[in-house]
Amino acid sequence: MSRTRTALLAAMALVAGATGTALAAVPGDAGAAAVPCTVDYKVQNQWDTGFTASVTVTNHGAAKSSWAVKWTYAGNQRVTSGWNAKVTQSGANVTASNEAYNATLATGGSATFGFQGSYSGTNAVPAAFTLDGVTCNVDSGGPTDPPDPTDPPPGNRVDNPYDGAKVYVNPEWSANAAAEPGGSRIANQPTGVWLDRTAAIEGAGGKMGLRDHLDEALEQKGSGELVVQLVIYNLPGRDCAALASNGELGPTEIDRYKTEYIDPIAEILADPKYASLRIVTTVEIDSLPNLVTNVSPRATATPNCDVMKANGNYVKGVGYALNKLGDVPNVYNYVDAGHHGWLGWDDNFGASAEMFKQAATAEGATVADVHGFIANTANYSALKEDHFSINDTVGGKSVRESKWVSWNRYVDELSYAQALRQKLVSLGFDSGIGMLIDTSRNGWGGANRPTGPGATTSVDTYVDGGRYDRRYNTGNWCNQAGAGLGERPQASPEPGIDAYVWMKPPGESDGASKAIDNDEGKGFDRMCDPTYTGNPRNDNNMSGALGDAPISGRWFSAQFQELMKNAYPPLS
């Protein structure tokens, strides 16, 4: 089944006249202006026995503190699950009422929700909708309707953009790598281009801008296919739990994020000049997971994350980015999904998947705007732990009871990514979504790499003696000592995995090990200080960070040398 974004299709406008007769609203006339509400009903995906749909209701009347949209099916459609609204059905009649977090519907405001359903025969779009009992005009589309010529083309996205394609080598990172002793061995590897502030779009500090990278990508492409990897990373109140990667926009500056950051990026990517490129966007690293794990009443809560959950700007920002970038036919959106050492616990796994669905259906976005998800971005979690599994027991104790695993459901990134993919599909994401895993710094090779399981003296000696990941705790994230380059970028390495990628360019710092003044809004996080003894997010362990590190994104020669020395597979 295709994962392309369904274009808005034919429109049918109805308004209720004084006698109750439905009349067509002519754009620009007085009747159109008096429409109390509009409903946009889109069938996003459809197969032999089922479908998913997205519905956006816009209120043109007085502001509402709660709302309910109703419609009646002419066929045998049945709603089986929904999101961003409480969707119920009685016979042919369907009611979608607000959730607590989207109950307010201002004048001119919109709410978007979605659902999955079953059917047989035909799947006709409902003829009429009401908002709180008042008939709305309808802007509807379905797979059998003729296309609206004003809509962007749906594109010709492939199932996996990495298959059969080269991947863009950033010449700026390549030059830094090649300048290091031994760095020429990996200087031709593809890495992500991080757009971590508005100025990066045009180019800041003498660096290449977005168009510069895309023009260079066309040169590298030649007559074949080429993927360009971009990291969309500039949310308001960015990285609410990690000061080292704070950004330029304050918590409430969602409008600036939209108009000054996302809109210009979308405009550049939509330039027909770049239509032959496969553009992979990795959307907002470390944002949505914070709204699950680092908010009250959890012990790991931070005031900044509480603020971002309350104002909704992470969800709005991600939804807006997915919507706008998803309109570009050759863009493939991958949403950040944390890593197993963050979201692998029972309390986090399902809640995070639900949060991803909420964001993917906000601000006009739909699940069809999401081509996949990415795990382990800029992190160190081992790809595959070979010497122990979650099902092992030692002395009657499960591996889950070890201090290292600490009741997590997963012990490595591959098992986590594959399981998360299945969970997301069960929530209504396309069954063809793929996962990316960042392997830029999770090789954990070198002389200390275990060659077999640990001693069975206890469950802790068994796990600690056999694990590749040698951090003090899976919550440690900053410039980790002993880390190594992981698997080289490659397409389709495992079922459900679109690619192993180096989205985080090896050698670029995670954060400064002491406070350093800068004009990029990046603060000092104690997790980057090698003397720091920890906090609840890493179970009060030492930080494990390298010393003398520059601010995040700056070149860190000592880290690069460490990564090459400990690479696995080893460098030749």
Which residues have C-beta within 8 Å of that of residue 222, sequence separation ≥ 6? none
Query: Token pair for residue 546?
Result: 């390298």
Burial of 133 (0-12, 13-18, 19+ CB in 10 A): exposed
- The two three-digit tokens of residue 19, written as one number: 């006698």
**DSSP states of 106-171:** -TT-EEEEEEEEE-SS--PPPS-EEETTEEEEEEEE-TTSPBPTTSPP-----S-TTTTEEE---H
The sign one gets for the Cα dihedral 518, 520, 523, 525 is negative
Q: What is the CA radius of gyration of the chain?
A: 25
In whole angstroms, what is the distance from residue 35 CA to residue 46 CA? 30
Q: Is 148 a catalytic residue?
A: no
Expressed in percent and rounded to 5, the helix, strand and coil fractions of the chain are 25, 20, 55
Half-sphere exposure (CA, 13 Å, Cβ side) for 463? 27
Measured CA to CA, the distance from residue 305 to residue 314 in angstroms comes to 10
Q: Which residues are 23's β-sheet partners?
A: 15
Cα separation, 115 vs 131, whole angstroms: 18
39 Cα distance to chain centroid: 27
Place of tokens 């040698």: 470
Exactly one of 239, 369, 460, 510 is catalytic; which is it?
A: 510
Q: Which amino acid is at 298?
A: R
Catalytic residue among 139, 239, 286, 438: 286
Nearest to 500 by CA among 346, 366, 384: 384
Does residue 498 carry a catalytic annotation? no
Q: Which residue has the tokens 């500039």?
A: 234
Q: Which residues are designated catalytic?
A: 286, 510
